[in-house]
Structure 1
Amino acid sequence: MSTQTSDLLAAAAPRTVDVVRGISDDQLDLPTPCRDYLVRDLLNHLFQVVVNFQELAEKRQVEWAEKPDHLGDGWRDRFEVETDRLVAAWSDPSTLEGVSPGMGMPQSVIGGMALLDLTVHGWDLAVATGQPYHPAPEAVAELHGLVERLGPTARQMGVFAEPVPLAAPTEATIPDLAHLLTQTGRTPTWPTP
């Protein structure tokens, strides 16, 4: 069984897993496009997202205040296992029904938020560690509408920065991805303006 959400997550996950596997221990203290997040901080955040959104698929409450350190022994393998579990968690059509009791939004939006974090933070980690990143085109296409819908509230809550003007894409940026990144307040040519 699968859903559109699980299919999109399945397309996006391996690309981010590849980036995570490519991060060396000596890169954990590098800066990222996410203000105030070093690579290790962003990895821990993304790990928490991947784990918590499994619970959100089951309409369970999650704890965001706790900030566990997921970067113990075998963390790269565990990240892949958890992303596989994330995809599986959203594969039942019932996960997309109703409103999330913990988040107060439609479950379909919650699934989209997991896809957004997996895709955008995959890019964040790739550029921070000098790796190539080629997001799933179908995920990027789907995320434009979600970012437009969530943008005002996300900016108000400090989740997104203000949109960045879209410069001409470079060879390193894919036009659709560049547009998505600018709408979340990122500069596609990071670290240069």
Structure 2
Amino acid sequence: MTTISPTAAHVPVAVLLDAAARQAVPVVRGIEDDALSAPTPCADYDVRALVDHLHHVVVQFQELAAKRAADFSTTPSVVRPGTDWRAAFAREADALVAAWAAPGAEEGTTGQMEMPARTVAHMALLDLTVHAWDLAVATGQSYEADPSVLTELVGAVEAMAPQAREYGVFGPEVPTPGHATELERVLALTGRDPRWRA
């Protein structure tokens, strides 16, 4: 993967996406074929469907980085026999980082709702982080999110949570103890139970 170095007062979103991708790609590579039908913390997705979804998200957020329209209406099936879908995900994750590292990617607005570009990038960062965790716990793998990603996400997710719940993207917040980690806090804000196990 391309290594990105911080150059601005705030951490550029491409740096954060790079850190998240470095945690997500090994999880996807570690998924065995016999685990593809296993349940995940996302009730509507088994492992296969969630990999398809995450791959699609990673591709479409490249379009949004370039200020082009994204299409989330149909999720292509990428996890198919005879294809190296694990390597394909790694390539698309690398392309996502490159897309958001391009000049102007974080500036202005993007998407059909004309949202601030950095807010949209936070959505990509969130999906890459929480779905990597989803897939890890669903397939018996360990997962440790990058601390800089979590620090960025806690505030971002708190800000987007009310509207995300209104649109049904997040479930109700799961109560967490005062000593909860930042990862547990992020998961709980999205409606996930940090203690979920297959």
**Is 1:19 aligned with 2:13?**
no
Shift of 1:14: 1.3
> How does the TM-score come out when normalised to structure 1?
0.93
Shift of 1:102: 2.0
Aligned equivalent of 1:138: 148
- In the TM superposition, what whole-angstrom CA distance separates every residue of 1:14-36 from its partner, at most 9, and x where no partner exists? 11000000001111111100121
Aligned equivalent of 1:187: 193
SS of equivalent residue, structure 1 residue 166: coil
Q: AA paired with 1:20?
A: V
SS of equivalent residue, structure 2 residue 109: coil
Q: How many angstroms apart in 2 are the aligned matches of 1:178 and 1:79? A: 25
Structure 2, gaps ≥5 residues long: 7-11
**Is 1:126 aligned with 2:136?**
yes
Q: How many angstroms apart in 1 are the aligned matches of 2:67 and 2:148? A: 26
Shift of 1:71: 1.1
**Is 1:109 aligned with 2:115?**
no
Shift of 1:176: 1.0
Shift of 1:183: 0.7
> How does the TM-score come out when normalised to structure 2?
0.90
Q: AA paired with 1:74?
A: D
Q: AA paired with 2:63?
A: E
CA-based RMSD: 1.6
Shift of 1:93: 3.6
Q: How many angstroms apart in 2 are the aligned matches of 1:101 and 1:14? A: 26
Shift of 1:2: 6.3
SS of equivalent residue, structure 1 residue 90: helix
Q: How many angstroms apart in 1 are the aligned matches of 2:5 and 2:92? A: 17
Number of residue-to-residue matches in the alignment: 188
Structure 1, gaps ≥5 residues long: none
2:23–2:145 CA contact under 8 A, matched in 1: yes
2:70–2:111 CA contact under 8 A, matched in 1: no
Shift of 1:191: 3.1
Among 52, 56, 60, the residue aligned to 1:52 = 60
Aligned equivalent of 2:95: 85
Q: AA paired with 1:153?
A: Q
Q: How many angstroms apart in 2 are the aligned matches of 1:20 and 1:135? A: 14
Shift of 1:66: 1.6
Q: How many angstroms apart in 2 are the aligned matches of 1:24 and 1:133? A: 16
Classify 1:101/1:32 alpha carbon distance in 2 versus 1 (closer, same or farther; 3 Å): closer
Aligned equivalent of 2:175: 165
Q: How many angstroms apart in 2 are the aligned matches of 1:40 and 1:158? A: 22
Classify 1:168/1:38 alpha carbon distance in 2 versus 1 (closer, same or farther; 3 Å): farther
2:176–2:184 CA contact under 8 A, matched in 1: yes
Shift of 1:86: 0.2
Segment drifting more, 138-147 vs 160-169: 160-169
